[in-house]
Structure 1
């Protein structure tokens, strides 16, 4: 099953249509979020044009991970006032990625759910490391971590498709699945980033993940590596 999945993933290079599509609002939101002169209201107006994105954003604002007050957040304006622009950037990034990261576990149980949970925490860790240690763009680091998680979800989807064809009685050993994720998730993330026309700077940070030495990476690359691996920094 592992070998067949690797063969299927290798075909993604010549079949980019199988990769997750770029969220429609991503280019405009990225431009606005990276504009120092843009206000929270500017961001809110863009989100309000997409009812599904607005609803998803409110759901995230009311989740245990982000909600800081007992009173429910029921409007985008209040979400902006409560979490601030930086918090809104984090919420928007997660809301953009979440729809394409939903996948049923099937024979792999809670693996997709656990990957998504890990991705959210990794994105927060990468953003914090970028901002406080590297003095880099925290939103860019968060987006990179989300892309890395998306790569992992694509690998799990490919595993499920292979499983459906082969109909095994049990999933592969956990160590084999983990090794597959380690090998393929970063590569798929880079392929998605290319397909989505992300900047060369973000691409370089993803390429840095092939390096073994943190010191050889750029600032964003280190933030991604630290966040994804939950490295303990003295």
Structure 2
């Protein structure tokens, strides 16, 4: 078992920091999230495209577009997921699904089959020089759970991809984040005896609202200011305010099983971490650790601030390291 007790008891008299070493007030979870969102727009994007430092008039148009979609919901705003994909998701989330059913399903989709065999032949999985050409051998090599994760992540990316030159920047970052959250949430859930695959699915789905808003913003920019990109501060603010609402709209539109997505609803409700059920904790911890990791890699926080943030949530540093080492 890699996890110790998740929550530390607060010390009755926490050690006092000498006056000369006092730091600025610790950032809130919301501020951490907003800072993280700003990193989704890479610096090279700002250089490659004209970053207009949006005018007030254009800002107003962007906000109006988002609010209009919330007020007068148009189903076409939400990316569609094929019924076949939803049925496959329902089958995969069953912990008792047999390998033969997964194999049969994958064989019907040449794209999935190709990705599966490619991954099975990667250095991460293949132990011999013999190429794996059979999906049955791939299942034996990779394991049932890894196959399920590959299938569901492929379904999500293929169904929710936005056809825009901008997407290759933002899309790559948000999908990497979602994959990292899903991986860490699944690991945590597994350690607690919970449904690993459900935790993985929640990690992939929890930020789909950001993709929806992103598309709305790009639609306005391509009409009003072609060749430009949202400023980071504006982008962070509007994502932080509205992305959760669009995630809920998407989940409702797809009519997903409420039991699958309940952790997302709990995660969004701002319930304290220690009051969450284990599935919701898995999602929260996976997301928070992913955000902190990206901020640390971007040098927007240092090791000391990272440790302070983890401690404030009762997450042990050893647990954090174990999780990110699995990415």
Identify if the C-alpha distance between structure 1 residues 55 and 183 changes in structure 2 by more than 3 Å, giving closer, same or farther. Answer: farther
Among candidates 105, 120, 137, match of residue 78 of structure 1: 137
2:11 maps to none
Whole-Å separation in 2 of the counterparts to 1:40 and 1:23 = 23
Residues 1:182 and 2:240 aligned together: yes
Deviation of the 1:139 alpha carbon: 0.9
Identify if the C-alpha distance between structure 1 residues 229 and 182 changes in structure 2 by more than 3 Å, giving closer, same or farther. Answer: farther
Among candidates 231, 236, 249, match of residue 173 of structure 1: 231
CA contact (8 A) 2:208 2:247 kept: yes
Question: For each residue in 1:141-185, what CA deviation from the matched residue of structure 2 results, as whole angstroms up to 9, or x when unmatched?
Answer: 111111123322222111211111211664232132123223333
Runs (4+) of structure 1 moved beyond 4 Å? Answer: 59-64, 70-73
Among candidates 157, 160, 170, match of residue 215 of structure 2: 157
2:173 maps to 114
2:252 maps to 194
Normalized per residue, the structure richer in helix is 1
2:67 maps to 7
Whole-Å separation in 1 of the counterparts to 2:95 and 2:265 = 27
TM-score (norm 2): 0.62
Matched residue count:
230
Whole-Å separation in 2 of the counterparts to 1:201 and 1:227 = 19
Identify if the C-alpha distance between structure 1 residues 63 and 23 changes in structure 2 by more than 3 Å, giving closer, same or farther. Answer: farther
Whole-Å separation in 1 of the counterparts to 2:84 and 2:224 = 38
Question: For each residue in 1:52-93, what CA deviation from the matched residue of structure 2 results, as whole angstroms up to 9, or x when unmatched?
Answer: 3333444455568xx432755543223211211111111111
2:287 maps to 228
CA contact (8 A) 2:181 2:286 kept: yes
Whole-Å separation in 1 of the counterparts to 2:222 and 2:107 = 39
Structure-to-structure mapping, 1:29-44, within 5 angstroms:
29-44=88-103
1:139 maps to 197
Identify if the C-alpha distance between structure 1 residues 196 and 31 changes in structure 2 by more than 3 Å, giving closer, same or farther. Answer: same
Among candidates 114, 138, 159, match of residue 100 of structure 1: 159
CA contact (8 A) 2:77 2:212 kept: no
Quick one: higher RCO (CA 8 Å, sep 6+), 1 or 2? 2
Identify if the C-alpha distance between structure 1 residues 14 and 103 changes in structure 2 by more than 3 Å, giving closer, same or farther. Answer: closer
2:78 maps to 19
TM-score (norm 1): 0.83
- Pick which of 163-172 and 193-202 moved more: 163-172
Deviation of the 1:111 alpha carbon: 1.7
Identify if the C-alpha distance between structure 1 residues 181 and 124 changes in structure 2 by more than 3 Å, giving closer, same or farther. Answer: same
Query: Could you say what the CA RMSD is over the residues aligned between the two structures, in angstroms?
Result: 2.7
Question: For each residue in 1:32-53, what CA deviation from the matched residue of structure 2 results, as whole angstroms up to 9, or x when unmatched?
Answer: 3244443212211012122233
Identify if the C-alpha distance between structure 1 residues 137 and 110 changes in structure 2 by more than 3 Å, giving closer, same or farther. Answer: same
- Pick which of 170-179 and 114-123 moved more: 170-179
Whole-Å separation in 1 of the counterparts to 2:100 and 2:218 = 42
Deviation of the 1:8 alpha carbon: 4.6
Deviation of the 1:99 alpha carbon: 0.7
* Residue aligned with 1:230, SS: helix
